[in-house]
Chain A
Amino acid sequence: MNIYSAISTNIWKSYLILVLFVTFAGTVAYVLTKGIGYDPSVGILIFIVSIIYSFVSYFFSDKIVLAASGAREIQKKDNPELFRTVENLAIGDGIPMPRVYIINDPSPNAFATGRDPKHAAIAATTGILERLDKAELEGVLAHELSHVKNFDTRLLAITAVLVGFISLLTDMFMRSLFWGNMRNDDRDNRAQGIFLLIGIVLAIIAPVIASLIQLAVSRKRELLADASGALLTRYPEGLASALEKISADPRPLKTATGATAHLFIVNPFKGKGFQGSLTNLFSTHPPIEERIKILRSM
């Protein structure tokens, strides 16, 4: 997979995920109406909302993700060194200057987002700025800018927002199963029973599907971003030692959630707690040792 095929793959995958999402929401809506006996208007409403929601996620996913992570935008005068490094790398990648954000958190981590290079943003925690030296920071930022250039950020941000929605939807469904208005209609009781079964199955597998989508979108692209980042800085050791430092730090990032975890350069949960073990199970990033090994062999 080279850069150019990666870009076109990412672009059509983003649209595919949007279509899949609307189909999925439509199915859920259909099951809700047929299986639990909601009025058809509820189903139509869910369907319409899902379409609107996919548009929102396409155009505003970056802002949602940035706001959810507690990132604030900075100007050149706030941190000239960070700003200049991003400027240089953007020139080297031939993309417009992205917006730069800082997350006030001691856990070292970074991510990039935005639907295309013209609307890109790059965020770093205060922890990463304190811990890394210039070459290491440059390696990390080059990795993030590669995500921007490859259109990974579009795919990842859309996934983040839609996955969040799917888990919300199934949550609602499960609740309505327990507490909701189940009607007992003699006429098609059997059909209802079947749909109810499908509904339960959907509710169980939906989070799994969501995790699998995240999994499919990120593993390979992390390695690709590592490689193209190293190509940009011509210094793979910078990123390698940065990854070492970041993964050695035990503090998890407070503002990261299950829906945004796959955006970060290193798993923000650090394998801790329930979310940590869940993300290890559905790991979105290749093991860090493997990434470092590949970088060191370049």
Chain B
Amino acid sequence: MDPIVLVAIFIGVVLLYAWMVYNGLITAKVRISEALSHIDVQLKRRTDLIPNLVESVKGYAKHEKELFEKVTEARSNLVSAKTTQQKAQANNMLTDSLKSVFAVAEGYPELKANQNFLQLQEELSDTENKIAYSRQFYNSNVMDFNTKLTVFPSNIFGNLFHFKPADFFAADEADKKPVKVSF
């Protein structure tokens, strides 16, 4: 066969492969942003529930001012967060402050018996589960994308088209540590 034909076939195959890699990466990227929007829906729901929670707790525990400030601050941080990392961080802060709200609520039997409060508590814990699941879905998509970007030979074209690895939605560092039990 003519060497020119061979070279032409080789270039054709490489171009075809580059085209497939490019499309695959774009698809993976679209999946990531879709997964991120799933997280956002849950985060929005969470931030919407918090003012109600603060109101219902305030009715029973007025003097826990510091706590309310902490929650409100964490909430506004989450609302104003832009990047994935900021969101993840603000969300973890909010999780912590909510934990202390529910810990404080333990000390107020009347509050614990309040139907409205109980419902909010249930809604918030459900939202937290949903955030965890949507985070898991997002992270698995990020992992797919980042793997494509780093494995040979698709990494060559990934770099050529200037794709950047996506950020994971990090879980709270404290959650990752083993739980300490003391007697």
Contact = CB atoms under 8 A, between A and B. Distances in A.
Q: Does more than half of chain A's interface fall in helix, strand or loop, or is it mixed?
A: helix
Q: Does more than half of chain B's interface fall in helix, strand or loop, or is it mixed?
A: helix
B148 interface: no
Interface size classification for chain A: 10 to 19
Interface hub of A84, A87, A88, A94 (most chain B Cβ within 10 A): A94
B137 A94 contact: yes
Contacts of B137: 91-94
A89 interface: yes
B133 A91 contact: yes
A214 to B, nearest CB: 31
A273 B130 CA distance: 44
B129 interface: yes
Interface string A224-249: 00000000101000000000000000
B180 to A, nearest CB: 21
A94 B137 CA distance: 6
Contact of B35 (A84, A89, A94, A234): A94
Contacts, number: 27
B83 to A, nearest CB: 22
Contacts of A88: 126, 129-130, 133
B38 interface: yes
A92 B141 CA distance: 11
B95 interface: no
Interface in B120-146: 126, 129-130, 133-134, 136-137, 141
A219 to B, nearest CB: 26
Nearest to B137: A94
Given A91-B38, A94-B35, A94-B38, A84 B134 contact: no
Contacts of B133: 88-89, 91-92
A91 B134 contact: yes
Contacts of A232: 136
B32 to A, nearest CB: 11
B158 to A, nearest CB: 19
B136 A92 contact: yes
Interface of B: 31, 34-35, 38, 42, 126, 129-130, 133-134, 136-137, 141
Given A92-B133, A92-B136, 7 more contacts: A88-B126, A88-B129, A88-B130, A91-B133, A91-B134, A92-B134, A94-B38
Nearest 8 pairs between A and B by C-beta? A92-B133, A91-B133, A94-B137, A88-B133, A91-B134, A88-B129, A92-B136, A92-B137
8 contacts: A84-B129, A87-B130, A88-B130, A88-B133, A92-B136, A93-B137, A94-B34, A94-B141
